[in-house]
Amino acid sequence: MKVEVVAVGTELLLGQIVDTNSSWIGEQLALAGLDSHYQTKVGDNPARIREVLLHALGRSDAVICCGGLGPTQDDLTRDVIAEAMGSELVLDEVIADRIREMFRSRGRDMPENNLRQAMVPVGATTIPQQPGTAPGLICPFGPPYEGKVIYAVPGVPYEMQIMVNGTIIPDLVKRSGSSAVIRSRVLRTWGSSESALAEMLADRIVELDETGNPTIAFLASGVEGLKVRVTAKSPSEAEAVAVLDAEEEGLRQILGDLVFGLDDQNMEVVVLDHLRRRGLTLALAEAVTGGYVSARLAATAGADEVYRGSIVAHQAAVAASVLGLGGLGEGDGSGVSEDGALTLARQARSVLGADVGLGVVGAVGQHPGEARPMGTVCLAAVLPVGAGSSEEVSATVRLPGDRERVRQFAAISLLDLLRRTLEAAPS
pLDDT in tens, 184-204: 899 999 988 888 999 999 999
Whether 22 and 134 map to the same domain: the answer is yes
Tell me which residue of 67, 57, 78 sits closest to 19, measured CA to CA. 67
State which residues form the domain around 223.
Answer: 181-262
Chain segment 348-389, per-residue pLDDT in tens: 998 899 999 999 988 766 554 556 677 889 999 999 987 667
Res 316: pLDDT: 59
Res 120: pLDDT: 96
Whether 166 and 185 map to the same domain: the answer is no
Res 354: pLDDT: 94
Whether 272 and 338 map to the same domain: the answer is yes
Tell me which residue of 120, 40, 118, 61 sits closest to 85, measured CA to CA. 120
Here the CATH number for the domain that contains residue 325 is 3.90.950.20
Res 93: pLDDT: 95
Whether 152 and 20 map to the same domain: the answer is yes
Whether 258 and 274 map to the same domain: the answer is no
Res 180: pLDDT: 74
Whether 99 and 237 map to the same domain: the answer is no
User: In the chain, how many domains are there?
Assistant: 3
Confidence of residue 130 (pLDDT cuts 50, 70, 90): very high
- Mean pLDDT of the residues in the chain: 89
Chain segment 204-238, per-residue pLDDT in tens: 999 998 888 898 888 888 888 899 999 898 888 89
Whether 235 and 158 map to the same domain: the answer is no
Q: Are 345 and 319 in contact (CB under 8 A)?
A: no
Whether 98 and 26 map to the same domain: the answer is yes
Q: In the chain, count H helices and then E strands.
A: 15, 17
Mean per-residue pLDDT, 393-403:
88
Chain segment 5-38, per-residue pLDDT in tens: 999 999 999 999 999 999 999 989 988 888 899 9
- Cα distances (Å, whole numbers) of residue 38 to 25, 47, 172, 298: 12, 20, 16, 39
The residue out of 176, 206, 226 marking a domain boundary is: 176
Give the C-alpha separation, 206 to 39, whole Å: 27
The residue out of 262, 287, 309 marking a domain boundary is: 262
Here the CATH number for the domain that contains residue 155 is 3.40.980.10
Res 145: pLDDT: 96
Whether 19 and 123 map to the same domain: the answer is yes
Res 322 pLDDT > 60: yes
Give the C-alpha separation, 413 to 342, whole Å: 15
Whether 311 and 372 map to the same domain: the answer is yes
Give the C-alpha separation, 230 to 5, whole Å: 22
Give the C-alpha separation, 340 to 288, whole Å: 12
Whether 299 and 156 map to the same domain: the answer is no
Res 190: pLDDT: 93
Give the C-alpha separation, 256 to 236, whole Å: 30
Better-scored residue on pLDDT, 321 or 380: 380
Helix (H) or strand (E) segment spanning residue 159: helix 157-163
Chain segment 42-77, per-residue pLDDT in tens: 999 999 999 999 999 999 999 999 999 999 888 999
Res 128: pLDDT: 95
Res 414 pLDDT > 50: yes
Whether 394 and 317 map to the same domain: the answer is yes
Res 117 pLDDT > 70: yes
Res 89 pLDDT > 90: yes
Q: Provide the whole-model pTM.
A: 0.70
The residue out of 150, 176, 202 marking a domain boundary is: 176
Tell me which residue of 20, 148, 139 sits closest to 78, measured CA to CA. 139
- Give CA 176 to chain center in angstroms: 29
Here the CATH number for the domain that contains residue 250 is 3.30.70.2860
Count other Cβ atoms within 10 Å, centred on residue 403.
Answer: 16
